[in-house]
C-alpha cells in the first residue's frame, strides 16, 4: 500500500485555519466595526475549550485509519508509482479532512462564546431608587376605577415602570401585613412580570397596614446610596392594621431623607363592587363601604416632602403618575461599565462554509462506487 502525502491534511488544516481566521477577523472588523485585539476580546464560556481538541482528533483518527485500512492496489515495485503524477482526487481527499478538522475547531470556538469588550466612557446616568407599595386589601375589588382598582393599579404601574429605564425599582405589597415583592433591581421585566401575576387574596387582604407598608419599603431603601429615594404608596383605605402607624413610618422616612408620594384610590366611602354576572352576561354590582382617610395620607406625604393625590377614575390615576414623573429628582450616577458584543457569528460562518464544502465534495466528487 502507498500512503500518498500523509502529512497533507496537517499542513492543509493550518492553511485553512489561517484563511478562516483571516475571514473571521475581516467580518469582525468590517461587519461588526470592532478593532480586534487581545485587550478587547473575551470568551463567555471558556470552560468549553476542550471541544477545540475535536479538530485535532479528526486528524489523528484519519492518520491512524490511513495506516490500517486495506490496500486497494498491490504492486511489486512501489517506488515506480511514487514518480507518477497524482490526480486532483489525491489532493482533494486530504483537503476535505482538513476542512472537517478546521470546521470542528471553529464550531468549538463559537461555543466558547467570543465577545468583544467595549469600555463605555464615563457618563452621567440620571436615575433614582423607587419602591412601589401596592395595596392588596380586598377593598381593591371596588369598580369605581375600571375595570377595578387593583387591575387599574397593575396596568398604570406597568406603564410607569417602562418609563423609568434608568432607575432601580422595587415593590412591596400589603394587606393585613406588608411583604417585599422584589427588592431594588434594574431588571424591570422581572418586576413587571411579578406585578402582572399578582391577584387579590394571594395575601391576607382583611386589613390595610399602611404604616407597615411604608416601613418595609423604607427597609428596602435604607442601604441605598442613591441621592434620591422615593416611596410611591397606592392604597384605597384607612390604615386599620399593622404594628407601625403611618405617622411613625413617615417620621422614619423623614429621618432617612425618603420622599413618600401617596395615591388614594376612591373619592368616598361608598364604591361599587362586582358580584358576578347575570344570565345575559352583564356584570352585577353592589355598593360596598370602604372608609378612606385622605387627611392621613396627605400628612404622610407632606411630612416627607412628597405629594398626596386622590383619584376617582382611571384618567386621574394616570395623571397622578405623570405628575410624579415630572417631580421626581434626577440623581447623577457615574456609569463607566462595559458592553459586550457577540462575535460568534463571525466564527460560525467560516465553519459552516467549510462543512458544506466538505459534505458536498465528499458526496459528489469523492463518492466511491462498489
Residue percentage of the chain with pLDDT more than 70: 67
Contact (CB, 8 A) for 214 and 260: yes
Parallel, antiparallel, or unpaired for β 229-235 and 129-135?
Answer: parallel
Pseudo-torsion of CA 35, 41, 43, 44, nearest 10°? -80
Dist. CA 63–CA 97, nearest whole Å: 10
How buried is residue 345: exposed, middle or buried, by Cβ count under 10 Å (0-12/13-18/19+)? middle
pTM: 0.57
SS3 call for 337: coil
CB atoms within 10 A of CB 336: 9
- pLDDT, one tens digit per residue, over 317-353 is 999 999 998 887 655 544 445 566 777 777 788 888 8
> For 124-335, which CATH class?
alpha beta
Omega before residue 186 within 30° of 0, cis: no
Instruction: Find out whether 94 and 63 touch, Cβ atoms under 8 Å.
Output: no
Strand order in the sheet with 114-119: 41-43, 114-119, 338-342
| Range 24-43 average pLDDT | 63
Q: What integer best gives the mean pLDDT of the chain?
A: 79
CB 164 within 8 A of CB 146: no
pLDDT reading at 40 higher than 50: yes
Quick check: 340 and 118 in contact, CB under 8 A?
A: yes
User: How would you write 136-180 as a 3-class SS string?
Assistant: CCHHHHECCCCCCHHHHHHHHHHHHHHCCCCCEEEEEEECCCEEE
Decide if pLDDT at 168 tops 70.
yes
Helices 294-304 and 246-256 sit at what angle, rounded to 10 degrees? 20
What average pLDDT does range 101-110 have in this prediction?
81
Q: Could you state, in order of their start, the residue ranges of all structural domains in the chain?
A: 8-120+339-364, 124-335
pLDDT digits (tens, 9 = 90+) for 266-323: 888 777 776 666 566 666 566 777 788 899 999 999 999 999 999 989 999 999 999 9
Contact yes or no for 317/156 (Cβ under 8 A): yes
d(CA 170, CA 158): 12
Cα–Cα distance measured from residue 159 to residue 169, given in angstroms and rounded to the nearest whole number: 13
State residue 336's pLDDT score.
Answer: 47
Burial level of 326, CB count in 10 A (0-12/13-18/19+)? exposed
Q: What is the pLDDT of residue 160?
A: 94
List 119's β-bridge partners, or say none.
Answer: 338
Q: Three-state DSSP class for 258? A: coil
Amino acid at each position: 500500500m502507498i500512503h500518498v502525502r500523509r502529512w497533507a491534511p496537517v499542513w492543509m488544516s493550518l492553511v485553512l485555519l489561517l484563511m478562516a481566521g483571516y475571514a473571521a477577523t475581516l467580518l469582525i472588523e468590517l461587519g461588526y466595526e470592532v478593532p480586534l485585539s487581545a485587550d478587547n476580546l473575551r470568551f463567555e464560556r471558556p470552560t468549553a475549550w476542550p471541544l477545540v481538541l475535536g479538530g485535532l482528533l479528526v486528524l489523528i483518527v484519519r492518520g491512524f485509519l490511513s495506516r490500517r485500512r486495506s490496500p486497494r492496489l498491490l504492486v511489486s515495485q512501489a517506488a515506480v508509482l511514487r514518480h507518477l503524477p497524482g490526480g486532483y482526487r489525491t489532493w482533494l481527499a486530504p483537503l476535505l479532512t482538513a476542512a472537517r478538522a478546521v470546521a470542528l475547531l471553529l464550531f468549538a470556538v463559537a461555543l466558547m462564546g467570543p465577545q468583544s469588550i467595549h469600555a463605555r466612557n464615563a457618563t452621567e446616568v440620571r436615575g433614582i431608587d423607587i419602591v412601589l407599595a401596592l395595596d392588596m386589601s380586598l377593598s381593591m375589588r371596588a369598580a369605581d376605577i375600571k375595570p377595578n382598582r387593583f387591575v387599574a393599579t397593575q396596568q398604570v404601574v406597568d406603564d410607569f415602570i417602562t418609563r423609568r429605564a434608568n432607575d432601580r425599582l422595587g415593590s412591596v405589597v400589603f394587606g393585613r401585613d406588608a411583604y417585599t415583592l422584589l427588592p431594588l433591581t434594574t431588571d424591570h421585566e422581572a418586576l413587571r412580570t411579578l406585578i402582572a401575576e399578582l391577584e387579590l387574596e394571594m395575601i391576607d387582604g382583611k386589613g390595610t397596614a399602611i404604616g407597615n407598608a411604608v416601613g418595609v419599603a423604607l427597609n428596602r431603601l435604607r442601604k441605598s446610596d442613591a441621592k434620591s429615594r422615593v416611596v410611591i404608596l397606592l392604597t384605597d383605605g384607612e390604615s386599620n392594621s399593622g404594628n407601625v402607624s403611618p405617622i411613625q413610618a413617615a417620621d422614619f422616612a423623614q429621618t432617612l431623607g425618603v420622599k413618600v408620594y401617596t395615591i388614594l384610590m376612591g373619592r368616598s366611602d361608598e364604591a361599587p363592587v362586582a358580584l358576578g354576572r347575570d344570565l345575559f352576561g352583564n356584570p352585577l354590582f353592589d355598593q360596598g363601604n370602604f372608609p378612606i382617610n385622605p387627611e392621613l395620607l396627605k400628612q404622610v406625604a407632606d411630612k416627607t416632602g412628597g405629594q398626596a393625590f386622590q383619584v376617582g377614575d382611571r384618567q386621574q390615576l394616570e395623571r397622578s403618575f405623570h405628575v410624579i414623573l415630572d417631580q421626581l429628582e434626577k440623581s447623577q450616577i457615574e456609569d463607566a461599565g462595559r458592553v459586550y458584543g457577540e462575535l460568534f457569528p463571525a466564527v460560525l460562518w467560516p465553519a459552516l462554509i467549510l462543512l458544506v464544502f466538505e459534505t458536498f465534495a465528499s458526496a459528489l466528487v469523492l463518492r466511491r462506487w462498489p
